[in-house]
Amino acid sequence: MQPHNLETTASPLFAKKGMFPGMILIILLILPCIQFIANFNYLIHLFLYSFLYITLTTSWNIIGGYGGFISLGHNVFLCIGAYIAGYSAVRYGISPFYMVFFSAFGAALFGFLVGLITLRVRGPSFIISSIALVMILRIVFDHWDMVGGASGITLKYNNLPVEWSKIPHYYAFLTIALLSVLQNWYVKHSKFGLALRALAHDEIRSEVAGINVRLIKVTAFAISTFFIGAAGAIWADYLTYIRPNIFLIILISANIVLMCILGGKGTVTGPIVGAITLIIFNEIVITFFGATELNILLTGLLLVGTLLFFPNGIVGTLKKRKRLPRFLDWD
């Protein structure tokens, strides 16, 4: 008897890759209309929070999944984007929504400069350098009086009614998440992405083959920070405050890496699956057990259990076994 194959027995819904994602997109676009029925603010929050982490994971996947550089410091660029928008709002009265591009560009520029220094090494040395980056920036922002020091920056609330106050952030995060996913897909299927994956396997051979290794690495690092910076601007406006002890903690980057590994780093849809899976899992644990250290324990068990059965992540393993539904196969 032949093994069951989802790819050959999938319903017509999955036969065309564009149909199912298109339906999901339509649902996401009209979802806020449920606010006309009742106050579903927390549900809206969960969705926009998911969009935030989809942006973080798909962006990180470019340098971590394709390039092979495991960064535990990408939350720094979320912080940079937030501070650019937050400072502009407080100092000049400019809405963070208008500063999204400048936050993205600022984060990418800073990422390019950081990449010039840190990407000279690989493996454990690079991981340590990315952690050091978080620690250095934490000290800098804690003592930088112009941006509020350890107390940070407080932004104004929007003037919308409570039930509609999250809607602008919802659509902003949805847009940024979609763009980051498209960017991830484009990089994977471009010559640039091919060169990036080649140097991840062997930098020396790639350089001999004529690839400008240093330029590819640094550019990929900068690209991986662009939409994270954009998300930082909206996240700052959503929270209405920015403090170093909120943005510059290793836990954020650890979650990004865990989500990518869980879903399958180096794949287009893996980071999306990993982000959604971990967020839903955490919500279930918090609902039944509360926000305790048990959450960390169960998350660790989830990761270990998943990797035992899905060593290449959920998407990566299913694809290798030829059981990945077509709507998730964007590679």
Confidence at residue 17, expressed as pLDDT on a 0 to 100 scale: 59
Task: Characterize 103-138 residue by residue with b for buried, 16 or more Cβ atoms within 10 angstroms of its Cβ, and e for exposed.
Answer: bbebbbebbeebbeebbeebeeebbebbeebbeebb
pLDDT 10s digits, 222-247: 999 999 999 999 999 999 999 999 99
Q: SS3 of 241, please?
A: strand
Q: Compute the radius of gyration of the chain from its Cα atoms.
A: 20
pLDDT 10s digits, 288-320: 887 777 888 888 899 899 989 999 999 999 999
User: DSSP string covering 265-303, please?
Assistant: TTSSSHHHHHHHHHHHHHHHHHHHH-SSTHHHHHHHHHH
Whole-number Å distance between alpha carbons of 168 and 195: 38
Task: Judge contact between 148 and 203, C-beta under 8 A.
Answer: no
* Domain limits, the chain: 37-248, 250-331
**Residue 102 region, left (φ>0) first, then alpha (ψ -120 to 50), else beta?**
alpha
Q: What is the 3 state secondary structure string of 10-25? A: CCHHHHCCCHHHHHHH
pLDDT band at 14 (very low <50, low <70, confident <90, very high): very low
